[in-house]
Structure 1
Amino acid sequence: MKKYLGLSCLLLLVGCSNYGQLKVIANIPEEFKEVSGLVSTAQNSVWLIEDKGNKDELYKIDSKGNWLKTLKVKNGKNHDWEDLSKDKAGNVYIGDFGNNSSDRDDLEILKVPNPDNEKGDDIEAEKIEFSYPEQTDFSPKKKELLYDAESLFYWKNSLYIITKNRAKPFTGEALIYKVPATKGKYKAELVGSFMAGTDERTSRITSAAISPDEKTIVLISNGMLWSFTNFKADNFTQGTVKTIDLGVRTQLESVCFITNNTLYLADEYHKKTGGNLYIYTLN
């Protein structure tokens, strides 16, 4: 009996360690294997997207993982959708800026009205097109793979984009850009950078979010979370920074706030792991 009890405890510990500090609240419907962005526009539900190779659609699920609604995004092809954000009016922004090889010249953010108010099966998008002024080579060498991005948040009428460093050798630096949150074509403004670390797996930024009271910004990677408070300028990294090891090493791709200190996170299905909706509370 002691032998079996010990084995059960071991299995329990192993299972818990897979998710570290994150608590699973739901399994994401198995149709969505590559969730790349989350945004909460109402209580007890989120909208999500999938990345490159998937449909041009927004999906709504509740906090129990039930699939509630699908909206086809008109005037917005999914080249590589990587994150979601929202503004105070409830408009939702889709970051179509996945750029693994730093070779895209068609980067954009799609702006759609509050999807909770749509009665039909589709939603119209406006385009916010942009480029990185610092990028002059669209077939760069490995050391210059600096212009992929998977992270987006809205703050003070602007959209902030945080790049995902793919340079080899890896440098760990994430660049912070901003563009206006209105339809148009822009050169993104470089406002700062963030040294996430030297480990490629845990130092590549995969999503961003800002709290409803706009006092906390978070970035995540596959296992780490950074919170920024007491910031005043565009370069929010100059505020107070706290680094948190979430103790999970699944492919975390999405984060959003549901209260000023509570987060939802999601990971992709990968080798029979992930595909979960998690909750985490900031101390």
Structure 2
Amino acid sequence: MNRFFLFLILVVAQACAQKTHYGKLSHLGDFPSKLKEVSGMAIHSGDIWVVEDSGNKDKIYKIDQKGSITKSLKIDHAKNEDWEDLAMDIEGNLYIGDFGNNANRRKNLTIYRVSRAQLKKKEPNAEKIEFRYPEQKDFPPQKDSLLFDTEGFFHWKDHLYIFTKNRTRPYSGETLIYRVPDEEGEYDAELLGSITLCKSQDHCSVTGADISADGKTIALLGYGFIFLVTDFELPNFDSASIQIIDFDSNTQTESIGFLNEKTLLIADEKNKTTGGGKLYSYSID
């Protein structure tokens, strides 16, 4: 066992032993009917972009802080097979994560890069960042190795950091951490390690991710839970600590982003059973 993985295990053990904190989301507004399945969010200089997942249009949507659409753009040279998250870099370039992989069968994992200049056009053109997980040998793998679905990522210093969503049976809670370069091309994703946020299948699989502008805090989202990761230095998580926040929700929370250093925005998908389809804020103490 190498030193990096040993440190990660120690970090996870400490995080899981920590007391869970509790908080409440503040309801900002409801999404319009055309945005029923908001699956990803990215925020840059106050601009909020959201996206929907499989079965929806090849579009991105700019919204205000009440959830109303202020702009929609069809992305050229991009197909929404399963768009699960958005990320933005400090220059305002947008990245669309087409890496939803519920059954762990996909071999065409893609991140679309839409430049800041293209975002000003009526039909922006997208570049393709294609990648694979070298550790996945079977499509799909055995039930205890269903670790290659993805719903959360963020951009930091020329790389896109990817957190996989665990679908193992029995549930292990493990999340793999990868990164790929932010430039057009074909890549083997680089495995950085793994974390186990907690062992509840209902709450602990990653559905969204973002990093604060100062690079000091990573926010990972699960169903009803926020995981704040601090005390790290990318790409290493050797000394990281994890704070668990239960915000007491049973909706399908899929999207998270930093509005500023102390405020997170969160969105949930709308469904007939639990409701949702809303935009919320959460203040970090």
Determine if the TM-score, normalized by the shorter chain, exceeds 0.5. yes
Structure-1 separation of matches of 2:67 and 2:234: 37
Aligned residue number for residue 66 of structure 2: 64
CA contact (8 A) 1:92 1:115 kept: no
Larger RCO: 1 or 2 (CA < 8 Å, sep 6+)? 2
Aligned residue number for residue 220 of structure 1: 221
- Give the TM-score, by structure 1 length: 0.89
SS class of match (2:144):
helix
CA contact (8 A) 1:176 1:235 kept: no
CA contact (8 A) 2:23 2:245 kept: no
1:163 shift after superposition:
0.4
Alignment of 1:101-140 (within 5 A): 101-114=103-116, 117-120=119-122, 122-140=123-141
Structure-2 separation of matches of 1:265 and 1:221: 11
- Give the TM-score, by structure 2 length: 0.88
CA contact (8 A) 2:118 2:124 kept: no
SS class of match (2:96):
strand
Comparing 137-146 and 200-209, the one that deviates more: 137-146
Give ranges in structure 1 of 5+ residues lacking alignment: 1-18
1:119 shift after superposition:
4.0
SS class of match (1:193):
strand
Kindly name which structure, 1 or 2, has the bigger radius of gyration based on alpha carbons.
Answer: 1
1:104 shift after superposition:
0.4
Structure-2 separation of matches of 1:226 and 1:139: 28
Comparing 109-118 and 98-107, the one that deviates more: 109-118
Aligned residue number for residue 206 of structure 1: 207
Q: What CA deviation, in whole Å up to 9, does each residue of 1:78-100 have, x standing for no partner?
A: 11000011101100111110001
Aligned residue number for residue 85 of structure 1: 87
Name the aligned partner's letter for residue 206 of structure 1. Answer: T
Aligned residue number for residue 152 of structure 1: 153
Structure-1 separation of matches of 2:239 and 2:186: 29
Q: 1:117 to 1:106 in 2, by over 3 A?
A: closer
CA contact (8 A) 1:95 1:110 kept: yes
Structure-1 separation of matches of 2:68 and 2:179: 35
Name the aligned partner's letter for residue 88 of structure 1. Answer: I
CA contact (8 A) 1:34 1:268 kept: yes
Does 2:34 correspond to 1:31? yes
CA RMSD of aligned residues (A): 1.6
Q: What CA deviation, in whole Å up to 9, does each residue of 1:257-283 have, x standing for no partner?
A: 110121110000012611110001111
Name the aligned partner's letter for residue 125 of structure 2. Answer: E
Q: 1:116 to 1:109 in 2, by over 3 A?
A: closer
Give ranges in structure 2 of 5+ residues lacking alignment: 1-21
SS class of match (2:203):
helix
1:75 shift after superposition:
1.0
1:65 shift after superposition:
2.4
Aligned residue number for residue 169 of structure 1: 170
TM superposition outliers: structure 1 runs of 4+ over 3 Å: 235-238
Structure-2 separation of matches of 1:115 and 1:80: 25
Does 2:164 correspond to 1:142? no
Name the aligned partner's letter for residue 225 of structure 1. Answer: I
Q: What CA deviation, in whole Å up to 9, does each residue of 1:242-271 have, x standing for no partner?
A: 111111121000001110121110000012
1:117 shift after superposition:
4.9
Name the aligned partner's letter for residue 22 of structure 1. Answer: L
CA contact (8 A) 2:118 2:125 kept: no
Number of aligned residue pairs: give it.
263
1:114 shift after superposition:
2.5
Q: What CA deviation, in whole Å up to 9, does each residue of 1:108-130 have, x standing for no partner?
A: 1111022795142x111111000
Q: Percent identity?
A: 47
Comparing 128-137 and 269-278, the one that deviates more: 269-278
